[in-house]
Chains A and B, each alone.
Chain A
Amino acid sequence: MALDTRTRRTPSKGTGAGQRPVRGGPRALWDSTIGKKAVMAVTGLIMLGYLVAHMMGNLKIFFGPGEFNGYGHWLRTMGAPVLHHEWGLWLVRIVLVVAVVGHAVAAYQLSRRDIRARPAKYAHTKRRTSYATRTMRWGGVILALFIVWHVLDLTTGHTHPGGFQEGHPYQNVVDTFSTWYGNVIYLVAVLAMGLHVRHGFWSAAQTLGVGNARRERVLKAGANGLALLLTAGFVSVPVAVMTGLVS
């Protein structure tokens, strides 16, 4: 007897050679939950790098108005003579806007998906995750609103208290932190930033596949250290104005 060499199984459709959908590319990246998280991780790290530079620039305020205002002026002549006046600054701004928008849109779409994926809540709920993890979404919204206010306050001067002086950032910073609401908004936002960085930096490492069991402690310590350093650095400026160290 010959062995049965036939199968009743019908040939599968659409997966034959040459018919396979083309994979890869930016579209496939954006359409996958993992790809979208990778976009969030990369844009988040770009913003994190900017935050470190921004904090170091802020700390120049402790060396007096001359150095701080001079630094503000340098930002506009950055890259000269290759780059025209403010071109370098605008390049940084464009990269940042792209990063913020990409990060926010991906976060919004993923959050919508996550909420849909868990429509029914448990009757018996337990809270196990850290505060930083739980506040990622609303913390992100707070940060987005803060950025709008921050730009209107100290870049364009629209909501600046007292007369906004173009080219005199030292005086503008002192003016802002001489108001109670300026301090409150700033401190809340900086704390939200610290928490966001704490979970975000570690998460970005996991999303980009850098994390593994051995590196877990190093990455967690790095995230905590970075969050603490940035928070302390940014908080020091309003505290210095409040205590009269900078005036």
Chain B
Amino acid sequence: MKLTLRVWRQPAADTDGAMTTYEVDSVSPDMSFLEMLDTLNEELILRGEDPVAFDHDCREGICGACSLVINGDAHGPERTTSCQLHMRSFQDGDTIDVEPWRAAAFPVVKDLVVDRSAFDRIIQAGGYVSAPTGSAPEAHATPVPKADADFAFEHAECIGCGACVAACPNGSAMLFTSAKVNHLGVLPQGAPERETRVLDMVDQMDAEGFGGCTLTGECATACPKGIPLPSIAAMNKEWLRAARKSPR
């Protein structure tokens, strides 16, 4: 396959960037999107140019490091992460636009790399349980109803990649935050912090400069793990409940 890439190049956080065009030859349809970018980078290095910087780690769709907006879709046309997207999803001769996540709370570090520390701070604000550490407890000591376990697991699938923020026209982190709030809030282990968790995480989310939710549904469409849009309604319910119960 022969492809034309238009890639966002930005040398540093405080400099201007632009879409730059590259031709990539001999692309195999079995390559992942990141392997295709590796091929481009090898050529750039041989030509003595600066390779394209992009985030990646596990390359098996579970770490949430890769973060590319491909042809206007966060993680590209398939419902998976950029690393698990394969070139067979494209046609020979295609022009592909590759851009970084766009949000005020995710500033560009270089090229396609953005700073997602804002997510870490949201997690620090309440995305934990105060369980005693030590030896693992007996698995059946705390019964969890099947429906709750399924609900928690569905939300625990979030890998924190930030595709929801990238896809949202308001740069909102509601889907990410709701995944964490719902995952921990429904389980008995997360019950002690149930109210403070949602209040603190939403406070932090607002403080980071993420936008509000207008229910466009773009986040749930982009999510590689399929966190559903009703998660946001579930978090709103939790927040309103906690706001009624507080002052803590």
Contact = CB atoms under 8 A, between A and B. Distances in A.
B236 A207 contact: yes
Interface string A193-211: 0000001001101111111
Interface in B93-114: 97, 99, 102-105
A33 B240 contact: no
Interface stretch (B33-41, B51-59, B138-146, B208-216): B208-216
B215 A124 contact: no
A122 B72 contact: yes
A208 B238 CA distance: 10
A213 B99 contact: no
Nearest to B97: A124
A120 interface: yes
Interface string B214-226: 1111100100000
Interface of A: 20, 22-25, 28-29, 31-38, 110, 113-126, 128-129, 133, 136, 199, 202-203, 205-213, 216
A17 B69 CA distance: 45
B61 interface: no
Contact of A117 (B99, B104, B215): B104
Given A118-B103, A203-B214, A123 B6 contact: yes
A120 B171 CA distance: 10
Interface stretch (B83-91, B184-192, B198-206): B198-206
Given A114-B169, A124-B72, A212 B217 contact: no
Given A202-B215, A205-B233, A122 B169 contact: no
A34 B239 contact: yes
A147 B212 CA distance: 27
A120 B100 CA distance: 10
A206 B228 contact: no
A216 B104 CA distance: 31
Residue with the highest number of chain B CB atoms closer than 10 Å, among A34, A113, A116: A34
A115 B214 CA distance: 12
The 3 closest A-B pairs by CB, nearest first: A209-B237, A117-B211, A114-B170
A206 B232 contact: yes
B172 interface: yes
Contacts of A115: 170, 211
B196 to A, nearest CB: 9
B236 A206 contact: yes
B171 A123 contact: no
Given A136-B214, A205-B233, A22 B247 contact: yes
B71 interface: yes
A84 B219 CA distance: 52
Given A32-B202, A37-B213, A123-B99, A128 B221 contact: yes
B236 A117 contact: no
Contact of B243 (A23, A129, A203): A23
A212 B237 CA distance: 10
Contacts of A24: 243-247
A36 to B, nearest CB: 7
